[in-house]
Structures are given as C-alpha cells and as structure tokens.
Structure 1
Amino acid sequence: MNEAHAKRLLSSYKRWTGEELLPINERLPLLKQLNEADIVILSHGTEADPILNYGNNRAMEVWEMSREQFLSTPSRLTAEPMAREERAAFLEAVTSKGYINDYTGIRISATGRRFYIENATVWNVVDEQGQYCGQAASFRSIRQVD
C-alpha cells in the first residue's frame, strides 16, 4: 500500500461516517500511522473475488499471517466457510449504503483460530473522483470463540 491508498482509507471513512478514523499527526507519514495504529485496519480491492490489499500490523497479528500471505488472500477466506454467504450479503449492504458500523461476526486466522470481531465499521473506499475502489474495515475488539 502507498500513501495515496492511506489517504483514500482515511478520507473515505470520514466521508461516510463524518468522523476521523485516527487522530493524525501531520508531521508523520500516514502509512506509518495506519500501520502502527492500535486498532485493526484492513481493505480489499474490486476484483471479482476481492483480494486483501492492505492490513496494518494489528491485522497481521489477528489473522496470524505474514504481510505477503495477507496481501494474496481473497478477503472471503478471512471468514469461516459457513459464514461466507452471510458475509457476502453484509458486504453488499455496505456497497449500497456506504458504510455500516457496529458489525460483529466470526472470523478465522491462518492457523484456524476462530474469533469474533466486535463493533467493526466497514466502509466503501473511493478515490479522489469518488469512484468506488474497494472496501475497508476497522475494529478494536476481538474475542475468542469458545
């Protein structure tokens, strides 16, 4: 990911929610601030089977993946197989409304560890001309599935 994508994530979040995703220090590169944030931030592109195109350090930890592995993973594979249809319907709702917050759902890490993401915000990412270029998600809270 580059600084332009970092700006799109932040500006798209503000566009849909009216809030800032993170408090930004103008003296530091945006990408560094996103990578080091204490919340999970990730995004995927617009492919027919969208591929993850960004995950910050917290996302790598939560999904137990290397950056290389993460950035080659179809985003649908971050959810359990039985939850993928529900996830697809949810993402379609995000596409039509712009964003949804307070989402909770089960996800699965690369090692098979199951966990709930709680109170996630998922939003459409748009470029400088307002063209759709993917979706992003952010959340603070996870808990293990028993």
Structure 2
Amino acid sequence: MQIIKVPSPENGYLNKHAELLISSYHRWTGKDLVKPEHSDGDMYRALFQAPYAVVSHNTEDIPIFNYGNQTALSVFEMDWTEFTSLASQKSAEPVNQAERERLLARVSKLGFIDDYKGVRISSTGRHFLIENATVWNVVDARGEYYGQAAVFYKWSEL
C-alpha cells in the first residue's frame, strides 16, 4: 500500500486527484464542488481547506481512503497518514455495513446520489451522523473509474 503525501503547496494540493474529484462531481451533479472563479492551483487548495468534508476511496476490493480534506480529517479525528490507510468500510459500524453496501451499489448504478444519511465513527470512537451527503463515482473525462467520493456539509455528534 502506497501512502500519498499530504496535500500541500509543494505537490499542488494533489492537483491530479483534486481535479478528478472536482470534475467528476460536476459531471454527475452539474454543481461546483468549489467556486469556479478560483485558478486551478487555488481551486485545489480551496478543496483541501474547505469548511465542508470531502473524502474519496480507491478501487481496491476493500477500498482505502485516498483523500480527505482538512475538515474530513478533523471530523474523523485522524491525520493524513491514518486516514489514507483506513479501509473506508471501517468508518461505519459493523451493523451499518449492509446499508453502506447498498449505498455504494446505488452510486455505482446511478453515478451519484445526493440524499445519503448515515452514522460514521471517528478514530476515537465518537459517533456522528452525516446528513444530505452527496456520493459520486470518480471518473475522468474518458469515463475511466477511479473510485467513489463524498461531500457532506452537515454532521452532528451522537
């Protein structure tokens, strides 16, 4: 497993991956994940520093998170290395795994959903509820699949 470096000015805030997240979100939803008036470099920094949570996971049989912006890292109470080493299924309680699998299958079929609600767990065991999240397939301009991503603007401790 390869650990990706933390998004920073030195690596363009992981510009290639950030661009995939931004462009595929727009492709599926018709909405902007970050304000379009940003220049490319500022857009990727804005995504990482956004006041809402953005996460993505890869295409492994057991998907691993490969991106989490600063808000997501804070909500999940993890640093970059911990988060990008975590199987995304482990962010949900075992009792919620069936619900999670149905969600991911629905996203795979439709391209995105914008009505996700579910309980997640931070690294310290704190439970929080995500509401009205959008989950989408991460694809490039040719439609090549890179995994799935989510954005959530609202969460509350349980």
Pairs within 5 Å for 1:85-96? 85-96=98-109
Residue 19 of structure 1 aligns with which residue? 31
Over 6 Å off, 4+ runs: none
Matched, 1:116 2:112: no
> Conserved in 2, the CA contact under 8 Å of 1:104 and 1:117?
yes
Distance (whole Å) between structure 2 residues aligned to residue 136 and residue 30 of structure 1:
17
SS in 1 for 2:50: coil
Residue 92 of structure 2 aligns with which residue? 79
Pairs within 5 Å for 1:37-48? 37-48=50-61
Match of 1:63 among 72, 76, 80: 76
Deviations 1:102-134 (A, max 9, x none): 211000001000010011000000023211110
CA distance 1:26–1:143, change in 2 (3 Å): same
SS in 1 for 2:28: helix
Distance (whole Å) between structure 1 residues aligned to residue 43 and residue 89 of structure 2:
27
Distance (whole Å) between structure 2 residues aligned to residue 7 and residue 144 of structure 1:
31
> Conserved in 2, the CA contact under 8 Å of 1:3 and 1:29?
no
SS in 1 for 2:107: helix
Q: TM-score, normalised by structure 2?
A: 0.88
Structure 1, unaligned runs of 5 or more: none
Deviations 1:24-49 (A, max 9, x none): 41164333111100110000000000
What code does the residue aligned with 1:114 have? H
Aligned-residue sequence identity (percent) comes to: 46
What code does the residue aligned with 1:20 have? D
Distance (whole Å) between structure 1 residues aligned to residue 34 and residue 79 of structure 2:
24
Residue 54 of structure 1 aligns with which residue? 67
Residue 126 of structure 1 aligns with which residue? 139
> Conserved in 1, the CA contact under 8 Å of 2:15 and 2:41?
no
CA distance 1:52–1:27, change in 2 (3 Å): closer
Match of 2:153 among 121, 126, 140: 140
Distance (whole Å) between structure 1 residues aligned to residue 114 and residue 106 of structure 2:
12
SS in 2 for 1:20: coil
What code does the residue aligned with 2:85 have? S
Q: TM-score, normalised by structure 1?
A: 0.95
Distance (whole Å) between structure 2 residues aligned to residue 17 and residue 77 of structure 1:
27
| Number of positions where the alignment pairs a residue of Structure 1 with one of Structure 2 | 145
